[in-house]
Chains A and B, each alone.
Chain A
Amino acid sequence: MISRRRLLSLAGASALLAACGSNTGRGGNGQGLKQWYHAYGEPGVQQAVERYAKAYPKIPIDVQWNPGDYDSKLATSLLSDGGPDVFESTLQISSVRANQVVPLDDVFGDAKSDFAESILATHTVDGKVYGVPQAVDMQMLFYRKSLLAQAGVQPPSTVDELIDAARRLTRDGVKGLFAGNDGGGGVLGGPALWSAGLDYVRDHQVGFDDPLAAQAISKLRELYGSGGLLLGAVKDWAEPDAFTQGLVAMQWTGLWAVPAVQKALGDDFGVLPFPKLGSSGSPSVPVGAFGAMVNAKSKRVDEAKEFVRWLWVERTDYQEDFNLSYGFHIPPRKSISAKASKLTTGAAADAVKFVRDNAKASNPPDWTSVMRTAFNDAVSRVVRDGAPADQELRGAAGKVRDELKRLYG
């Protein structure tokens, strides 16, 4: 099907076909299942998922690759009848409440215990699992060993040391730290809370309504004001370019970047979790996983579930390939991650250890977008505008409380 379409497009004839009002090639015209992915940055992923889909023996699968604003596109499509049958996403309690996704507990079978509990938890609402984790992503702090040694700086183990390091490593046109073009408010808000032993939401209560939270977020302001941050880079924090190009001595990015960093810097780098604030807190790394989900509006829910079972539960070889052959991710199944040789050495091994010891859910299902927006807005105002942290966080906490009340009564 795909090759025929390619052929047509080469001939330029499909444009004419399309002009006559024919369907512009939705493969199989309703016979195949539609499966959606967002656009992964690593080369080869798109070809890989198409290969998996092609190998499915029962029905044709039409893989759709979605660049651009995936969340909005998915949200819009799930409201109509034209959405995908199977898609990847993080789980939000609102989708469960609106009956947009179906429970997948029966899909797991015996394999359920083989999935890492902490990851499964991020796809669970009210005891039911709605997504089969595909790949575990985690974020951490990368640092350049040689630059730290030159400046006589130790790898930071507290937030104050991190700020101090960012300041002292800023010299000769090199900045100390890159944590996103927004100055760190976006990606470091969660880690800052965790550094103080707090969290977004805890037992259906606001987790950051605490003077310590204000102190932790104020540290991000201090970091921003230290002059040690790189701001406005061409590529954002998710890509290691600022780090590999030598623009910064430290960067906050993810495990997925390890292959690229290794290639550019060899052994001259190390990784760390976000450090603890003081005695009461602990180091942390944000961990999350996209899961395969089934659209409740799909006309073929059972077939879709069967496909998800086949792809992400039965075909462990695909899970391994998907997680390890392109960027680095941690396979969500313990049996696979245990034997993944790429994750047993160097920075990747450290990352696995951080996930075991310091993991925090980056997108818990009950941390809804309304709450996230309220919290991120508050953090951003503190970090960039120097607004008083206690006041801003109190405002955000109020909104989160309202939202929790709406969800849980």
Chain B
Amino acid sequence: MKALRYLALSLAAVLFLIPFYLVLRNGLATEQEITAQSWTFWPSEIHWENFVALFSNPAVPMVRSMVNSFVVAVLQTVGQLLLCGLAGYGLARIPYRYANVVLYLVIATLMIPAAVTFVPTFVVVSTLGWVSDLRGLVIPGLFSGFTTFLFRQYFLNFPRELEEAARIDGLGHWGTYWRVVVPNSKGFFAALGVIAFVTSWNQFLWPLVIAQDQDSWTVQVALSTFLTAQSIDVVQLFLAAAVSIMPLVVVFVALQRFLVRGVTETGIKD
């Protein structure tokens, strides 16, 4: 029985790892090898020079776009945790006549896909003069209804005793939030932070349209350069893909324990 379990899990694990294997294999081979008649499981010789070719390709600023992606993802993660955390707490804990109205407005945004409001959003952002600008890449993505909703659900279940103790010590809502609630919720913040970072890093459509200057490209936009209809450099494409997922894979393997704990604490109970 136990052996069967491990067998099933191992089989699934192999299937899950195949795409990663393909990205590496294709990125480190030559195009002849990839397109050869018979399957080569691993390049006969690893072509490290592909990295040099990739990073020195003048048409695709890989380094610059990785830096941009990183800056955008960090700012969006921090900004979301700050703004959505505060809002989630306010919605969960501060009694106010119109709190429910605001809550419904937040939930409603979950059902409206971004692609629907894509063009008006672009016009708004462009009116503000934020095209090809870090502000245009970061700020519109900060106001996530989903993150706020998850924070609210979590704070609803936050132990009231801790807050009441703080209240007795003379702290108001603001002091309670920063001195008691946040320090006791690190795991949850970490979990949502990872999700926010990944989402931001993997964004495609918005940066494609808003980051027009080559200098403001994010890594996903740079990747799509390889996919443009007229020319595909298959090897560089896969290598670029490998490079683009590397940072996240590292973050994930390091933080996945946190993540499970964080999700366990979410409001996805009652």
Contacts and interface: CB of A to CB of B under 8 A. Distances in A.
A and B touch in the complex (CB under 8 A): yes
Contacts of B59: 39, 46, 65
Given A24-B133, A80-B122, A64 B213 contact: yes
B230 A12 contact: no
The prevalent SS among residues of A at the interface is: loop
Q: Classify chain A: how many residues form its interface, as a range.
A: 35 or more
Interface residues of B, number: 41
A68 B213 contact: no
B216 interface: yes
Contacts of A15: 67-68, 70-71
Among B67, B119, B215, B230, chain A packs the most CB atoms within 10 A around the CB of B230
Interface string B141-183: 0000000000000000000000000000000000000000000
B213 A25 contact: yes
B210 to A, nearest CB: 9
B64 interface: yes
A81 B231 contact: no
B213 A40 contact: no
Given A15-B68, A19-B75, A26-B213, A239 B225 contact: no
Contacts of B232: 234-235, 239
A67 B224 contact: yes
A39 B209 contact: no
Interface stretch (B90-98, B99-107, B124-132): B124-132
Contact of A82 (B35, B67, B119, B131): B131
7 contacts: A21-B134, A39-B225, A41-B229, A47-B58, A65-B59, A72-B209, A73-B208
Given A68-B221, A76-B209, A80-B126, A24 B132 contact: yes
Interface of A: 5, 9, 12, 14-15, 18-19, 21, 23-26, 38-42, 46-47, 64-69, 72-73, 76-77, 79-82, 173, 234-236, 238-239, 245
Interface in B56-81: 58-59, 61, 63-64, 67-68, 70-71, 75
Given A15-B67, A80-B123, A80-B127, A236 B229 contact: yes
A15 B69 CA distance: 10
Given A19-B134, A69-B208, A238 B229 contact: yes
Interface of B: 35, 37, 58-59, 61, 63-64, 67-68, 70-71, 75, 118-119, 122-123, 126-127, 129, 131-135, 208-209, 212-216, 221, 224-225, 227-232, 234
B213 A24 contact: yes
Given A14-B215, A76-B118, 13 more contacts: A12-B67, A24-B216, A25-B213, A25-B215, A39-B59, A46-B59, A67-B221, A68-B221, A77-B131, A79-B122, A80-B123, A80-B127, A235-B232
Contacts of A38: 228
Given A68-B224, A76-B209, A239 B122 contact: no
B70 to A, nearest CB: 8
A21 B135 contact: yes
Contacts of B209: 72-73, 76-77
A24 B225 contact: no
A68 B228 contact: yes
Contacts of A21: 134-135
A253 to B, nearest CB: 11
B123 A73 contact: no
A19 B71 contact: yes
Nearest to B120: A79
A236 B132 CA distance: 31
A217 to B, nearest CB: 24
A64 B126 CA distance: 17
A18 B69 CA distance: 12
B71 A67 contact: no
B212 A64 contact: yes
Contacts of B224: 67-68
A347 B258 CA distance: 63
A76 B225 contact: no
Nearest to B214: A65
A26 B118 CA distance: 23
Contact of B228 (A67, A77, A234): A67
Nearest to A24: B216
Given A67-B228, A82-B126, A239-B231, A9 B215 contact: yes
Contact of B133 (A23, A72, A73, A236): A23
Contacts of A82: 126, 129, 131
Nearest to B68: A15
B47 to A, nearest CB: 18
A328 to B, nearest CB: 14
A9 B119 contact: no
